[in-house]
Every structure is written in C-alpha cells, then in structure tokens.
Structure 1
C-alpha cells in the first residue's frame, strides 16, 4: 500500500461521511509516482564544504559581505554610494540560516544583485552583535532587512519562501519608491497610489517576525484580514488572507472573528490551485494542523474536505523537485502531521514511505549548509510521524559530520524527553552545552540545559548549581551580555530557577546563584541599562 491509500484509510477512520473513494481519488491526483525522489548521491560532506560552513560565512559565493560589525560605517557607505543596505542577522548553527546560504546566497542572480546594495553580515556570536540586534529589533535567526541609503527600513524579507520568490521580493523592494510602512498606511487608507509591486511587498513582508515594526503584534491578524479585503483580487490578496488565517490560528479564541464557512471555501480553492499552493508553501507546510483546528472541528465533513485538500497540496509540494530539499521535507512533515491528527494511527505502509522519502533526500544532500537544514527537517518529519528511533539514528549519524553538532544534540534531548527518558534527555542537554561555541550560542544552550535540569532533575541541586554557575561565569566575561537574545534566554533561565525554588526547598543553592549574579550586576555601571536587566533575572519583576 502506497502513501495515498494509507492516508485515505487513516482519514476515513476519523471522518464519518467521507468516502474512501473520494479521498483516494483526490489524493491520487498528486504526481505519479507517489514521491519524486532525487537520485542517490554520496552522503558524506566534502571537507571543503565543511570548512566553509565552520566559518559561518559564504565567502566562496562571491558576495562582498561587510563583517566588521561597524553598521554605522556601512550606513555611511550606503549613503555615499546611494545604494540600499542589506542586513543579514544569523548564526552558524541555525538550520534556516544554513538553508538561506544553500539556496539563496549562493545563487549567481543574488550575487549579481548584491553588487547593487551594501551587504552586511551580522553573526549573533560576534562582539557587540546582541547590542546591535537590540538597536535594529532583530532577534530570531535569520532576519533580513533592506534599508534605504538614508538608513530608514524598507522591508523585512521573509526567509521561508523559496529562492525564486525571495529574489522577486528583493528586487521589488529595491525598486519600490515606498517603504512597506508607507505602503501599509496608504493601503489601509484606501489610496490608489498603492501599485501591484507595493501590494506584493505587503503580502510577502515578514509578518511572523515578533520584532516587526509595522503594527502591534496583537493587531497583525486583523490588519492582514483588512489588507486582504482592500487588495485587488489575485495572488497577493490570497496570500494576505492565508497569512491572516495562519496568524489567527495561534491567537486566543474570540479574536479575529470571521465567517469560517467562507474561509474554508477560500482555503480549499487556494489549495486546489498548484501555483497558489506553491506560492504559499510556507503556510501550507508550516501550519496545516493549526489551520484545521482553527477552521473545523474533529470528525466533521468540513474537516474531511480540508484534509483532502491539504493532503493533495502537500503531496504535490513533496513531489516538486523545483523546491529545495528542506521545503519538500516540510511537505512530508505536513503529511505526517495530518496522518496523526485526531489521535489517528498511521499505517505501517505510510511510515515506510515516509522513511524512504527522508532517506533518499538525506543521502542526496552533500552541501554542508544544506545538510544542517535538511537533517533538521528530516528529523522533525520523523518525529511528527512518531518515528523517534529513526529520528535518533539520523541525528546521531550527523553528529560526526555537522559543523554544529550541538544543535542536533538538543534534538536528541527532545526525543528522549518525548519518550519519558529524563536521564538521557538531561545528558544530551549537557553534552549540547559543552559542545556549543560562541558566547551567545553557549548562553542559549546553557539556558536550555538549566531549564532541562530544573524540569527533569529538580532534586539534583549540586548539578543545577554547577550548571548555572558555569553560565553566569561566562556571562560575567562577555561584553554586552544583557542585550536581545542573551537577555531573553537569561530571563527564561531566571524564571525557571524561580519556579524551581518557589517553595524554598533549594534555597541554599539558589542563594549561591543569586550571590554570583549580584556580583556580576554590581560590576556594571549604574547608568548602564544592562544593570537593570541583570538585576531582573532573578527577581519577580518583569525584565
């Protein structure tokens, strides 16, 4: 039994009134064979690409990145040359960052385009990077912003869409006379000055970025729905509407009330259009279960129709060899998510097809940047299908070849946690922290280790105390340690420690930790905003 029939049977079990024949008929409309697979290739990463990846920069690509962290000098250069400035914010270990390097930054058309702007590479582990991140409101990796020569922000570019669409967005942003903020104001006012290119930039803006400056995060969904109403009918209006639904699916109930019957019809129509489904691949593959839960109730005809449409679209995306390997695995992950929806149990034939798909794509991936992204996506797809052993095997093998193995150690910790193996989970968190490199990265992994300990091994006071003291010792010698991502992870660690000691049972260890932190805070100048941030880490006050 191939994946189509496996999905059909699984769906029919949970959806009364939906005929297996009709489900199979729609799902079988996907390309034949079930999965178009890449030809097997040597799975080992070449030494040259491994060395390149370890630098964190795509030097071989021909982009003349500024890597000196002197953003003011870069702005001066942009102003003098009358060129826009392109700011890339990322990290060596980050899978989406590696995806961008493997699919966008190495493209000749992007390299050629880069000569028309000032490209600035800002790595989160370099000196002063976190302080600069606070200045430009960038936190999540990767974030890419295009600025005018005068320093004003034109737009935040999405990192989830495929390379072709990304280049289109970049070119549109560089050619536009308006910033996205100006376009938004005009669009909401009903101005006819907003042209098709301006609407395209609004539709492709990085709305998912919690640091975006266009509207309050609580108003993103309602703003997107309003824009979808005002936008001329076409692909841009569809994307704005689908993005609004995606955002709404993660907001509290009662907000952004819409006619869900109409919404379901629009979603099914969009999914049935292969071009629209591909253009909105990031939404289709990223949140199918959330969309289903938002738009339908379990075991209803509405949910059945949505699942049919989603399965068909996901299968086509999984078979689309013009998409990146990571994006195709994202579609496989979506299929696995749907197969387990509403407590359904995928059949063995379905799981075998998932494994075959993942194996063939993984073995065909030799580029070091791409592997960091592909292996992460593959392990996630396995996890969504409940195939934790297969996920573990893949992750363990990658530890020997990855330029950032600590990332996959954290994934192994998550798998162990899902199994209920607390000891193994904590040990993987510890190994990941010990292997991590770079001040911001080590703080992030150290915080995760401490959080794992307080949750999974709360009685091990000595181990928790030692872990926290190690993290704080490094913070004490790190310049600008209390900015942006660093600050967020310190706050998170502090909250975990406060919860751990809420009943006072760990007061002796907690007091030693507080004393160490107080010493670090005291060394910061009184007028330095970092001092208040430092003091808030272990207080009940909101940092």
Structure 2
C-alpha cells in the first residue's frame, strides 16, 4: 500500500466548483493546490498555534503533497464536503505542503511520516487524535466531530482504558478510529501495537460492537506483518463473521480491503482447505464492496485490487488470471476512468486503476491509461514512476530507466525531487549497474540540490538520502565502483561540514557517511 510533489502556497481565488469541472472533451481542469472554501493557515505553523491558543480553538494540521493519491482522495471526498467546511469555523485549519521549507522539519517535530497525516490539537498544542486517511468521508467526519466534542487526548484515553477505567462510547470510538498506522510509536511501541489493540478490543463493553470488532481487526492486520505472530480459532471466527455480513464489511472497509492478502496469508496455509474457504469468503465480501455505490470510485477500485491480489495468492507466476476476472477489471477501470472528472480524485483513481491493471497482468492497458493521464494530471511525474515499473516488469530495462529519469527530471519540490531521485538511483543500480558515470552524475546532481535546500536532512528527505547512500554502498560492496562512490561521499561530506555545529542536521548528515549494510 502503498511518491510526490508540493502543495503550492497560493491563496485560491477561483471557486471550488470551477477548480474541478470538466473543461473539454477528455481534458480535465487541473485542481488548485489548496482546496477552496476553507481559510487555511499556511507557512507559519507556530503563528497558527499561537492563534489557536489566543482564540481558544482546536487546531487541525494537514500534512500532504500535491502528487500523493491518498491526499488527493481526501481533498475530493472530505475537504470539499460542506460539513467539513462548516466545521473548520470551529478550529484553526493548517495546511502544510510537504515541499515547503519547514515541512520536513515539522514532520520530525510532530512525528508524522506518511502523506497524508492529519492531527487534531487542543488550543494549548496538546495532541487530541490522529485522523485516519484510509476511511470514507462519513467515518472521517464522524471521527473529526468526536475529537472536537471530546477534546480528551487519545493518549489519556488509552492509559485509562489499559488501566481498567470506565470509558464513554465516544472514547471507545476514538480509540477504534485512531490512525494507528501513522502513530509512529507515539502511544504504543510498534512491537507491542498488535497485542495492545487486542487487549483493548477485549476490554470494550459488549454493547460497543463496532469498537471491539474494529480494534480486533486492526490487531489481526498489524500482526499479519509479523512472521512470528500466532493465529487463533477466535480470530478466524471474527474474520468469517465480518466477511459474511455486508454492513460489518462496509464498517471495517479499511481492514477488509487494505489487508486482505496479508491476513489470508497469515491465517491459512497455501493450497489448504482453509485457504480456499477463507479466500472465497473474502473475495465475496470484496465483490460486494466493489459494487457498493455508497463508496467512492477509488474505494470500489481498491476492493477490486484486493480481489486481484487474492486471486494471485497461490497462483504460479506464469499463470494468467481467469478471464472473467480480467474482463471485470477492464470494465471497472474503464467505468472509473470515464466517470471521474474531479481533478483531485483522478490522481487517486487513475493511480489505483493503473496499478490494478498492472497487477492483473494487463501491462499494455495500464500503460495506455497512464500515458493518457500524463496530459491531464497536475503531477504527471507520479505516473511516470508507474510506467517505469511496468517497463521493468516486462524486462525492458532501457524503457524503464527512461521513465524513471523523466520522472525525476519533471518532479517538483525539494523533498519530492530527492525522493524521485532516490527512485531513479535505485533503478539505475538495479537495471544498469555497469553505468558508473550515469549513476555518479545522478547522485551528484541530487546532492547539488540538497546543498542549497533548507532542512534537507529531516524526515522524508533524510530517508531518501539514506536510501541513496545505502544503495550506493551495496552497489560497491565488492569495491568495483570505489572511485565513483568515493566522489559522491566526498561531496556529501562537504555539505555536512558547511552545516553549523549546533544544527542537529549536521550529525544526521555525518551519519549518512557510514551507511548500514
């Protein structure tokens, strides 16, 4: 599940409707970078917190990027809702572009990693809750309203729950719908997250079935990523109960869709009778979600994507999917493409649609969809990475590298360019390891930009640089590329030495010079 550019810092003058209309034929209006209708604070986050304190209002912090599909989905399904727009009068809405000068430093401060991250704070700056970005608009808005009316930090609620305290219905609901995936160990250590959520689920009163079920499913989902985690008959029973009930599946959409293949893989052995039974039950639930008109186009496509993943689970690599499923994939992707005119939503829908086609083995059709979108998208370089991935799947190295290079060249925003650059470096080393000069020049080009970028060694940018240095180190493990790598590291050392001794970035930068194997 889961690459980039920036959300411009302009004040939106056009109306929201105009920003999203279909302008002519198959050409769609590019969406404005900041959704209209909301008095977003931008730039000085400290000033926004001061304003929240002075006005005794909560603060809502959004951190995202222009290219990011989930971010665009939130804009298309939540930020444009009148209910959300009306609610913004009750709090100070802050919009942080991931490519703004302070964004990555702020991300480190607030312990946010993925786009989008959304946090609700009390007027005094105390974090209330983190809002889930993978749920539908109705549940998102309900969670936001609970956070606004409750104003009790989830951290306190969690401590009380684990100590056996009595919680309100709203408390349990906020715990169930907290964005545990973006918690970054703020509340619970990652190694203890699954077991803690399971403990919470068992403590939920019998009357609060949604909270108990969702916490249990979250625990199962998180444990599915741990090879050492054990399974129980009780967990299977819960899964079958949810899968058999259309409303329960709908209520727990985020787990049922996003964790399907991971959970099935953990809960059953390949080719076993249990695997067949669980896969059939899960596929049936996904099919209902894929046809549910109350879900967004992207969510329906995501359900289809998971159907494809389950169908491939025990399939030999060279065996094609059944024709009826391929026909359905083609049909639903075509419908989504034709019916989606919202510029924000297309960034999400086309990303999911192209990925689904690719996963179904329909690479040519995926390419056709992506290439058409290059002319429409406000962040076409995002789709160029997908074209590169498709070419790589075909074994066409030159074409793949061409797309990765083009994506890097066309990418916008400092954090985005470092990330896209790291993807290009990785592709070069994987597909053309003999191209010393090309690899070295690309790495030097990235570092040249880093040298003049403020806060280049925080959060996403730091991780992108770590990826580059680690990849170069692995490439040079036999010392066959020593000269090229040495020149790149010398350049990085020069950047480090120019950072003030009191700047935390200096130690981070110097740490990159000693990459882990």
Q: What TM bracket, shorter-length normalisation? A: over 0.9
Q: TM-score, normalised by structure 1?
A: 0.88
Out of 154, 165, 168, the residue aligned to residue 139 of structure 2 is 165
Q: Does 1:208 align with 2:181?
A: yes
Farther off after superposition, 194-203 or 385-394: 385-394
The structural deviation recorded for 1:258 is 4.0
Residues 175 and 43 of structure 1, relative CA distance in 2, 3 Å threshold: farther
Aligned with 1:208: secondary structure? helix
Q: What is the distance in 2 between the residues matched to 1:531 and 1:206?
A: 32
Q: Where do 1:491-502 residues align within 5 Å?
A: 491-502=466-477
1: CA distance between counterparts of 2:418 and 2:254? Answer: 30
**1:324 — aligned with what?**
296
The reply to whether residue 511 of structure 1 matches residue 486 of structure 2 is yes
Separation in structure 2 between the aligned mates of residue 332 and residue 172 of structure 1, nearest angstrom: 31
Match of 1:528 in 2: 503
Matches within 5 A, 1:227-266: 227-233=200-206, 234-253=209-228, 255=229, 257-259=230-232, 261-266=233-238
Number of the residue aligned with 1:369:
344
Contact 2:28 2:376 in 1 (8 A): no
Query: Residue 309 in 1 paired to residue 265 in 2?
Result: no
Distance 1:249 1:41, change over 3 A: farther
| Equivalent residue number for residue 127 of structure 2 | 153
Find the aligned partners of 2:72 and 2:185 in 1 and give their Cα distance. Answer: 22
State whether residues 408 and 424 of structure 2, in contact with CA within 8 Å, keep that contact through their aligned partners in structure 1: yes
Whether 1:489 and 2:464 are equivalent positions in the alignment is: yes
Q: Structure 2 CA distance, aligned partners of 1:454 and 1:224?
A: 41
Tell me: CA distance 1:45–1:58, structure 2 relative to 1, closer, same or farther (3 Å). Answer: farther
From 275, 281, 285, give the equivalent of 2:257.
Answer: 285
2:11 corresponding residue in structure 1: none
Could you say if the C-alpha distance between residues 512 and 177 of structure 1 is closer, same or farther in structure 2, counting changes exceeding 3 Å? closer
2:26 maps to 44
- 5 Å matches for 1:421-440? 421-440=396-415
Following superposition, the deviation at residue 242 of structure 1 comes to 0.6
Give the deviation of 1:94 after TM superposition.
Answer: 0.3
Per-residue displacement from partner, 1:372-416 (whole Å, max 9, x unpaired)?
000001011112212111111111111111110110000111111
Q: 1:450 to 1:266 in 2, by over 3 A?
A: same
Q: Which has the higher contact order (CA 8 A, sep 6+)?
A: 1
Kept in 2, the 8 Å contact 1:326–1:373? The answer is yes
Give 2:169's aligned residue.
196
1:274 alignment partner in structure 2: 246
- In 1, Cα distance between equivalents of 2:516 and 2:483: 22
CA distance in 1, matches of 2:244, 2:434: 54
What residue number does 1:132 align with? 106
Q: Is the 8 A contact 1:101 1:369 kept in 2?
A: yes
C-alpha distance after superposition, 1:190-223 (max 9, x if no partner):
111x111100011011111252511011111011
Equivalent residue for 1:397? Answer: 372
1:353 partnered with 2:321? no
Report the TM-score when normalising by structure 2: 0.92
Q: How many corresponding residue pairs?
A: 491
From 73, 80, 84, give the equivalent of 1:106: 80
For 2:28 and 2:274, the matched residues in 1 are separated by 49
The Cα shift of 1:522 comes to 1.1
Give SS of 1:168's match.
helix
> Secondary structure at the residue paired with 2:314?
helix
Aligned residue in 2 for 1:21: none
What is the aligned counterpart of 1:409 among 379, 384, 388?
Answer: 384
Distance, in Å, in 1 between the alignment partners of 2:285 and 2:25 is 29
1:355-381: per-residue Cα shift (whole Å, max 9, x none)?
011101111011110000000010111
The DSSP-based 3-state class of the residue aligned with 2:90 is coil
- Name 1:122's counterpart in structure 2: 96
CA distances 1:439-459 after superposition (whole Å, capped 9, x unpaired): 111111011111111111110
Task: Report the aligned-residue RMSD.
Answer: 1.6
The residue number in structure 2 matching 1:217 is 190
Structure 1 runs (4+) greater than 6 angstroms displaced:
40-43
The counterpart of 1:445, out of the listed 400, 410, 420, is 420
Corresponding residue number in structure 1 for 2:4: none
Residue 337 of structure 1, CA deviation: 1.2
**Which residue of structure 2 lines up, in the alignment, with residue 65 of structure 1?**
40
Q: Deviations over 1:496-519 (max 9, x none)?
A: 011111111111111211121111
| C-alpha contact 1:416 1:425 (8 A) present in aligned 2 | yes
Equivalent position SS for 1:154: strand
Compared CA separation, residues 174 and 125, structure 1 to 2 (3 A): same
The 1-side partners of 2:84 and 2:185 are apart by: 24
Residue 299 (str. 1) matches residue 271 (str. 2): yes
The secondary structure found in structure 1 opposite 2:514 is coil
- Structure 2 stretches of 5 or more lacking a match? 1-21
Structure 1 residue 541 displacement after superposition: 5.7
2:197, 2:215 within 8 Å by CA — same for their partners in 1? yes
Alignment deviations for residues 30-52 of structure 1 (CA, whole Å, 9 cap, x no partner): xxxxxxxxxx99873433xx1x3
